[in-house]
Amino acid sequence: MSTMTDSWKLLRRALLADGVISGATGALMLLAASPLGGLLGLNVALLRTAGLSLIPFAALLVYLSVRTTIPHRLVWGIVGCNVLWALDSVLLLAAGWATPTTWGYLFTLGQALAVAVFAGLQYAGLRRSVPAMA
């Protein structure tokens, strides 16, 4: 029983942390896209769109983190979205779709790493919270 409780704590905390950080990052990218675009060397429209997409995602994560029950299929979808976001961030740089400054590379790779860590924590919490099939 302790293991189940600990795994739910891990999942809830990972969802909450992801939600708070995604919300803050989304708000920053949405509200400060122009100055960030200059500093990072990233397209302002890309920053605004990414920021706007993060706001409802962050709200969902925070909402799920405080629910009594968390739908496992939805969390699997969140893990998939996080993995896709991390891969797309690296692909943005590797494919040359953007010409960021050094700060832009650090920002893009840093957030890709953070998102990948959240995906891993959510995956671990989810796997541990699902009872083994007989």
Please give the pLDDT value at position 7.
Answer: 63
Residue 78 in any domain: the answer is yes
Return left, alpha or beta for 67; rule: phi > 0 is left, psi -120 to 50 is alpha, else beta: beta
What stretches of 41-129 show up as alpha helix (H) in DSSP?
Answer: 44-66, 72-94, 102-129
Enter the tokens of residue 2. Answer: 């302790």
Residue 74 in any domain: the answer is yes
Q: What is the pLDDT of residues 67-108, one digit of tens each?
A: 999 999 999 999 999 999 999 999 999 999 999 999 999 999
CA dihedral (91, 93, 96, 102) in degrees, to 10, reads: 180
Residue 70 in any domain: the answer is yes
* pLDDT of 134 over the 80 cut: no
| Count of structural domains, the chain | 1
Mean pLDDT within 2-13: 73
Residue 72 in any domain: the answer is yes
Maximum C-alpha span of the chain: 56
Rg of the chain over CA atoms, in angstroms?
16
Residue 58 in any domain: the answer is yes
* pLDDT of 2 over the 70 cut: no
pTM: 0.89
Residue 134 in any domain: the answer is no
Domain span including residue 80: 2-129
Residue carrying structure tokens 């293991």: 3
